[in-house]
Structure 1
Amino acid sequence: MKNALGRDVPGHPYLGLQPIERIEYKQTKSLKEDRKDKVHYDLESFIKTLPLEDNMTLSFHHHLRNGDFVMNQVMAEVAKSGVKNLTICASSIFPTHAPLVSLIEQKTITKIIASYISGPVADAIGEGKLEDVCLLQTHGYRATSIMSDETSIDIAFIAAPACSPEGNITGSMGPSSCGVLGYAIADAWYAKRVVAVTDFLVDVLDPEIPACCVDDVVKVDRIGDPDGIVSGTTKITRDPVGLRIAKSTAELMKATGLLKNGFTFQTGAGGISLAVAKEIHALCLNENIKGKFASGGITSYLVKMLEDGVFEELYDVQCFELDAVESIKRNPNHHKMSAAKYADIHDPDNIVNQLDFVILGATEIDLDFNVNVTTGSDGRIMGGSGGHADTAYGAKFAIIVSKLVSSRISVVVDQVTTITTPGETVDVLVTDRGIAIHPRHQALIDHLKATTNLPIVEIQTLYQRALALTGIPEKTQNLGRIVALSQYRDGTILDVIRQIDTAE
């Protein structure tokens, strides 16, 4: 069946932005003192005691990002039990999780639910090795689906940087400190059984996850390498073209009238997005503008803006850099939050709904402003929404920043390969060869043309400019079976991802 974006999907189609029918979640765990010692000192022996069965769902968080050891450690022992057809519900999967590929091939793992997947596991899914269809959710909807029991977790394994013998957990202590455990909160409160895996046993006085949520604590030598937290693009661009895009974006933000005292802001961790943060930092200091908060995955640039008084507060769902890990330990205005507080669609006061601006990247953006950050133009899985679609929906002004052409590939296409974020929630594209604003903002377009020198053009113009540089690209059409679904923050299906053709 076709959804509102014209994509053929197998069911539960995206119907466009709809009124939200809010639901109440059933909470089965109560906050109470729990002094029981729950510690086990051998992971292999402990896994043997678990009542593992075929078709179970096991969950993991990704706060150690590409430095995580726990998913590989646990799944190696689980595989020894001989169970099959497991679902892995992981907030994200990185290249370090390559050992999962063999478990996929052996049918130990037959389904994956995640918000972001890159590396060998992504390739294995794209090649059709995963028996069931992978579900790529937003960060907000992952929490929603767990709390509503749409995703029922049998055992949650929580990498715990610090944990007390009773099971109180924090991300802000220990040799593997990652700062925040926002994506593990829903798992801890709603999984049938919760196992904390830690390399640092200590009394925890201010836990993010209280002992009443935790059934077992397993001590291991190491849960990860915190240097892996900074994996990926968390460095500001030095490219003059990217810096020019950032400068234009800051000028655009100021011209909207939203950049004023009390403004709220989020930026991705890509090089150009971080350059925008740097421009806004300087602008706010020069013009004495003080924002209310910045949010999301927190980088060192946002920490510096907090310290310099540009923002009153930070709301942090995950730390992208070690400076953020240290900041949240010592700065009382740097707050931890859960994925649900960040972006649960059923919480009208969630943080994304309070954003004025969000700065995001794109692999592709099409003439209807639909954005792809899930696959390459060849259909290979290379990421996922994460918070992209959540923040684009919530923010008053969602800005995509990108070079128009990179490595002879245009970011603007007639139709994106995979829809991650629907165009009706995207407001503007800023490139080095012009700025395209969604036509629903005609009054703003007229205002900017009359009052600024910003190069405002239609997105069709950017597309034609790109084609003049690249020529008309050949389209890759994957006709294999559906291997993954792109799921929107309301649970509907935006698009399908098909098995790639690996023939030479």
Structure 2
Amino acid sequence: MARQQRVTNLCNSLLQQAEAADGEELKAALKLIPFRDTSKANLQSKKPRDKKLCSSLEDTIRRSGLQDGMTISFHHAFRGGDLTVNLVMAQIAAMGFKNLTLASSSLAECHSPLIEHIRNGVVTKIYTSGLRGPLAEEISRGLLKEPVHVHSHGGRVNLVESGELSIDVAFLGVPACDEFGNANGFTGKACCGSLGYARVDAEYAKTVVLLTEELRPYPHHPLSICQDQVDLIIQIDRVGDADKIGADATRMTSNPRELLIARRAAEVIINSGYFKQGFSLQTGTGGASLAVVRFLENKMRSQNITAGFALGGITAAMVDLHEKGLIEKLLDVQSFDSGAAASLARNPNHVEISANQYANFTSKGASVDHLDVVILSALEIDTQFNINVLTGSDGVIRGASGGHCDTAAASKLSIIVAPLVRGRIPTIVEQVTTMITPGSSIDILVTDHGIAVNPARPELAEKLQKAGMQIVSINDLYQRALVLTGKPKPIEFTDRVVAVVRYRDGSVIDVVNQIKES
């Protein structure tokens, strides 16, 4: 019997068994089809080597299968220098799409053009870690019909994995890639560093689109995003302004008050019991928080201590300590400045990690669970140590959840650094306007007027006092702030909710109400 006939007989026999079988999985397993030969040219014509490359952004969006009501995503590695969101959204709006859910890992001041897309019904729902600038102002005043879902960096991955946030099309800006989609963030003119947030979207989105400034020869490496994750590629003039990555919240400070707070925070770390060989640390955004590493260097040298790793948003200051041999490894989910971005390309122990590896509550292995010390900033902290990093003293959204609650909960020692007052506005309040991180996750507050230790950590207070450091109660700091500023007039809100704050496990920890117009 000829080979083809034997194959056909087998497949027909299995097909008959499949029709009589119980269970869809068994039916599928029994349904085999005979091989049909065709020419190599025909085979290759079905999968041309350049099939991912698109001729225009409009062509890209059409080929992505985008439809009304779908969810689209972006990453924020370029921070305030991002150019991808506005470019893509303008084209999507021009093509007439409506009722989209926007799931950007965070949004910045540069994204104010989204206001018109919301007004015109292009975007009707938003998931994000943060909002700033005119967009945040308008949303705080009720621009969006549905409340924004504000999540942490780790919490976003949890929402994606759970299926609540199901990404249909991810539009991911990268400095350079090859024609198959191999990409990283530290090669090319628009060097943004780690693509830790984009990697989650590349893994989970139904369709992945890369927008790139530069096409490199295949295979482009090292890989942050891999060829088997990418569906479409479009080359554009600019994806982002790398010079604006290290601005505002991620700047290195020269402010004397912030440097004083940073010095005190470093002293707290040194005397906490966690400052020992192989310790790990992370600094959040904010001038004082980022400056702490400056003041640790001399003590690390004098006590012959090296850190095992630094985590999170990596800065040039951390790179400097790494290259001096004082920090062994850098685990980078987002590069906070050009120095950190460039380091990824040259330092083998500067390691890019995804947001899932960084801080996902349900991850099989999140790096925050190995973190010893984290230094974080705050817009407000109340007498129960609850933290607000989202809304300002006027009730307007002007910040981001970020990795605040992720790192505070998982670290062995969480330190908040903040001035007692900002202008005539107290930082220490009776009750925070919006809770992002619960006080149960916070260990120590360091201000320019004193240091307060959470009563739940008496052993920390004892260690600091034995080292000669003066400790005050958070209520004393609150009263001191009132003496300086007086009691602020309560913010007036309407009953309408404009944002839902999601904790790292997906639960709702607070809501933001629309501010009442005077």
TM-score w.r.t. the length of structure 2 is 0.88
1:267 aligns with 2:283: yes
Q: What is the aligned counterpart of 1:341 among 357, 376, 384?
A: 357
Q: What is the aligned counterpart of 1:58 among 72, 80, 86?
A: 72
**CA distance in structure 2 between the partners assigned to 1:197 and 1:110 by the alignment:** 24
AA aligned to 1:425 is: S
Alignment match, 1:465:
480
Alignment match, 2:32:
none
Equivalent positions of 1:89-488 (< 5 A) are 89-202=103-216, 203-449=219-465, 451-488=466-503
Alignment match, 2:506:
491
Q: Secondary structure at the match of 2:414?
A: strand
Question: 1:41·1:220 contact (CA, 8 Å) conserved in 2?
Answer: no
Deviation of 1:46 after TM superposition, in Å, equals: 2.9
261 and 34 in structure 1: CA distance in 2 versus 1, 3 angstrom threshold = farther
AA aligned to 2:511 is: V
**CA distance in structure 1 between the partners assigned to 2:48 and 2:478 by the alignment:** 60
**CA distance in structure 2 between the partners assigned to 1:348 and 1:259 by the alignment:** 27
User: What does the per-residue CA deviation read over 1:415-474, in whole Å, with 9 as the maximum and x for residues that have no partner?
Assistant: 00000111100001011111110001123323433x133120111111111111111111
**CA distance in structure 2 between the partners assigned to 1:406 and 1:468 by the alignment:** 14
Deviation of 1:217 after TM superposition, in Å, equals: 0.5
Q: Secondary structure at the match of 1:376?
A: coil
**CA distance in structure 2 between the partners assigned to 1:399 and 1:239 by the alignment:** 20
Equivalent positions of 1:64-103 (< 5 A) are 64-103=78-117
AA aligned to 1:319 is: S
**CA distance in structure 2 between the partners assigned to 1:182 and 1:457 by the alignment:** 39
Between 45-54 and 268-277, the greater mean CA deviation after superposition: 45-54
**CA distance in structure 2 between the partners assigned to 1:311 and 1:287 by the alignment:** 14
Q: Secondary structure at the match of 1:430?
A: strand
User: What does the per-residue CA deviation read over 1:244-299, in whole Å, with 9 as the maximum and x for residues that have no partner?
Assistant: 22222112111111101010000023111122111112221222111100010111
Q: Secondary structure at the match of 1:199?
A: strand
Question: 1:269·1:299 contact (CA, 8 Å) conserved in 2?
Answer: no
Q: Secondary structure at the match of 2:310?
A: strand
Q: Secondary structure at the match of 1:39?
A: coil
Alignment match, 2:16:
none
Q: Secondary structure at the match of 1:245?
A: helix
**CA distance in structure 1 between the partners assigned to 2:200 and 2:483 by the alignment:** 49
Identity among equivalent pairs (%): 45
Deviation of 1:172 after TM superposition, in Å, equals: 1.6
**CA distance in structure 2 between the partners assigned to 1:74 and 1:219 by the alignment:** 13
Which has more radius of gyration?
2
Between 63-72 and 440-449, the greater mean CA deviation after superposition: 440-449
**CA distance in structure 1 between the partners assigned to 2:500 and 2:236 by the alignment:** 35
Deviation of 1:35 after TM superposition, in Å, equals: 5.4
Between 256-265 and 144-153, the greater mean CA deviation after superposition: 144-153
Q: Which structure is higher in RCO with an 8 Å CA cutoff and minimum separation 6?
A: 1
Deviation of 1:332 after TM superposition, in Å, equals: 0.3
**CA distance in structure 1 between the partners assigned to 2:222 and 2:461 by the alignment:** 49
238 and 221 in structure 1: CA distance in 2 versus 1, 3 angstrom threshold = closer
Deviation of 1:236 after TM superposition, in Å, equals: 3.0
TM-score w.r.t. the length of structure 1 is 0.91
Alignment gaps of 5+ in structure 2: 1-46
**CA distance in structure 2 between the partners assigned to 1:128 and 1:221 by the alignment:** 35
Instruction: Tell me which protein shows more helix as a share of its residues.
Output: 2
Alignment gaps of 5+ in structure 1: 1-32
Deviation of 1:37 after TM superposition, in Å, equals: 3.8
User: What does the per-residue CA deviation read over 1:101-133, in whole Å, with 9 as the maximum and x for residues that have no partner?
Assistant: 100111110111001111121112111111211
Aligned residue pairs: how many?
470
Question: 2:273·2:463 contact (CA, 8 Å) conserved in 1?
Answer: no
Deviation of 1:45 after TM superposition, in Å, equals: 3.3
Question: 2:66·2:168 contact (CA, 8 Å) conserved in 1?
Answer: no
Q: Segments of 4+ in structure 1 off by > 6 A?
A: none
Q: Secondary structure at the match of 1:499?
A: strand
**CA distance in structure 1 between the partners assigned to 2:291 and 2:64 by the alignment:** 48
User: What does the per-residue CA deviation read over 1:135-175, in whole Å, with 9 as the maximum and x for residues that have no partner?
Assistant: 00000011121122221111010112111111112112111
Alignment match, 1:16:
none
Q: Secondary structure at the match of 2:456?
A: helix
Alignment match, 1:4:
none
191 and 63 in structure 1: CA distance in 2 versus 1, 3 angstrom threshold = same
**CA distance in structure 2 between the partners assigned to 1:216 and 1:239 by the alignment:** 46
Question: 1:364·1:371 contact (CA, 8 Å) conserved in 2?
Answer: yes
AA aligned to 2:496 is: R
**CA distance in structure 1 between the partners assigned to 2:499 and 2:285 by the alignment:** 25
Q: Secondary structure at the match of 1:400?
A: strand
User: What does the per-residue CA deviation read over 1:377-421, in whole Å, with 9 as the maximum and x for residues that have no partner?
Assistant: 221000121011111011100000111112021111000000011
- Supply the RMSD in Å over aligned alpha carbons: 1.5
Deviation of 1:36 after TM superposition, in Å, equals: 5.4
Question: 1:34·1:211 contact (CA, 8 Å) conserved in 2?
Answer: no
